[in-house]
Structure 1
Amino acid sequence: MYKVSEFSEMTGLSKETLRYYAEVKLMEPAFIDPKNNYRYYDDGSYFLALLLIKLRCFGFTIQEMTSVMEDESFAHLEDLLLHKRANIQLQIEELTSKKEEIDAFLASGKEHEQ
């Protein structure tokens, strides 16, 4: 079992984030000592934390992460990841188009200077 400070250091999640994740029932401590209310995490919590960190990197919202945790289905996670991937591809295409428009605009300005 790991104390909150140890677990925070291991995962890179702040104590505040861990508290918030517990509050929204995203990742609750493995054990809460009834004597002093200290929260403890275990190895299972560690792997769950790594998954949550990865999902946040992928741009998942708290609601989407909660949906993944409640469903516990790889098919559901795969669907969400494919949807995220499609959205990222769309953003890339939109940004590439904007970049090309800027390049064209700058090039046309240089042609008029000469």
Structure 2
Amino acid sequence: MYKISEFSQLTGLSKETLRYYAEVGLLEPAYIHPDNHYRYYDDGSYFLALLLGKLRGLGFTIQEMKKVMKDESFLQLEALLLEKRKKIHDEMQVLQERLADIDAFLESGREEDQ
């Protein structure tokens, strides 16, 4: 069993994040001491913590991460990743169009100065 500080160092998730994930039902400690309320995590929590960290790094929302964690077989994970990929691609398209608009606006201002 790992204390929250040890588990935080092991997984790269902050203690605050671990507490928050427990609060929202994403990653519960394996054991909470009844007297001092210290949180302890086990080896089984390690994989889940790494997965949550990876998902967060990929831009998953808490709700999306809950979907993944609810489906313990992770069958929906590929579909969610593909959905996330498409959303990012669509956002990139919008940003590229904005860049083109900014460039065109800047260029039109330069032409007026000449």
- What TM-score does the superposition give when structure 2 sets the normalisation length? 0.89
Q: How far off is 1:38 after superposition?
A: 1.9
Distance 1:67 1:73 in 2: 11
Aligned partner of 1:30 in structure 2 is 30
Aligned length: 114
Counterpart of 2:76 in 1: which secondary structure?
A: helix
Q: Which runs of 5+ in 1 are unaligned?
A: none
**CA deviations over 1:14-66 (Å, ceiling 9, x no partner):** 22221121122210112223343321112221211111011111221112111
2:100 equivalent to 1:100: yes
Distance 1:7 1:25 in 2: 17
Aligned partner of 1:15 in structure 2 is 15
Q: Which runs of 5+ in 2 are unaligned?
A: none
Distance 1:2 1:90 in 2: 41
Aligned partner of 2:83 in structure 1 is 83
Q: How big is the alpha-carbon RMSD for the aligned residues of Structure 1 and Structure 2? A: 1.4
Distance 1:23 1:87 in 2: 28
- What TM-score does the superposition give when structure 1 sets the normalisation length? 0.89
Aligned partner of 1:58 in structure 2 is 58
Distance 1:74 1:67 in 2: 9
After TM superposition, the runs of 4+ consecutive aligned structure 1 residues lying more than 6 A away are none
